[in-house]
């Protein structure tokens, strides 16, 4: 009889351990899910049609503390865009623009150009540039104040 009582206690402690393990796992998964929700956009933004197209037509730059990046964008699409996001990167192997120079841009009608100068000595997301290796432009259309579609084009440049 004494052997059975000892085995019952061991079975109960195993059940309690499994219940605690499952509770901790569920708690951690809920915490990770809520944390990831802030880093992944819930809203799916569809790609713009092929007839929305902004290209980087020209650029020139000077480097140093008083340097600047002069970008000429051209709307080669069939529709006006409501604005654009212009990102750059300063790493030589960059595949996407990380630092945002502007996130509103100006509306551009079909065939029109937008020429903008961005000084190096201003802080963009806490970064003052001494070189730029990639420029990425992302035109967008808006509907009721929110971005309804977007696309992008990038170009490797040498601005040192």
Phi and psi at residue 3, in whole multiples of 5°? -65, -40
Residue 138 has pLDDT above 60, yes or no: yes
* pTM, full prediction: 0.63
pLDDT digits (tens, 9 = 90+) for 120-129: 767 776 777 7
Torsion region of 35: left, alpha or beta (phi above 0 gives left; psi -120 to 50 gives alpha): alpha
Residue 132 has pLDDT above 90, yes or no: no
Superfamily (CATH) of domain 46-159 = Immunoglobulins (2.60.40.10)
What are the boundaries of each domain within the chain? Answer: 1-40, 46-159
The confidence score (pLDDT) of residue 33 equals 82
The confidence score (pLDDT) of residue 1 equals 47
Taking residues 96-105, what's their average pLDDT?
Answer: 82
Query: What's the CA gap between 111 and 100, in Å, rounded?
Result: 25
What band does 74 get if pLDDT is binned at 50, 70 and 90?
very high
Q: Which residues contact 62 (CB under 8 A, 6 or more apart)?
A: 68
pLDDT digits (tens, 9 = 90+) for 11-66: 788 888 899 999 999 999 988 887 776 666 555 556 677 778 888 898 888 766 67
Query: What's the CA gap between 29 and 17, in Å, rounded?
Result: 18
Residue 112 has pLDDT above 90, yes or no: yes
């Amino acid at each position: 009889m004494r052997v059975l009582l000892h085995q019952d206690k061991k079975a109960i402690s195993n059940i309690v351990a499994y219940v605690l393990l499952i509770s901790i796992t569920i708690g951690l998964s809920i915490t990770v899910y809520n944390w990831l929700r802030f880093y992944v956009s819930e809203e799916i933004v569809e790609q713009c049609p092929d007839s929305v197209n902004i290209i980087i037509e020209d650029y020139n730059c000077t480097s140093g503390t008083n340097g600047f990046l002069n970008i000429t964008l051209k709307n080669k699409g069939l529709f006006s865009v409501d604005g654009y996001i212009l990102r750059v990167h300063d790493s030589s192997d960059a595949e996407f623009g990380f630092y945002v120079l502007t996130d509103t841009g100006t509306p551009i009608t079909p065939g029109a150009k937008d020429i903008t100068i961005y000084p190096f000595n201003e802080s963009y997301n806490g970064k003052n540039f001494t070189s730029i290796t990639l420029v990425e432009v992302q035109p967008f259309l808006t509907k009721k104040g929110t971005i309804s579609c977007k696309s992008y084009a990038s170009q490797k440049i040498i601005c040192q």
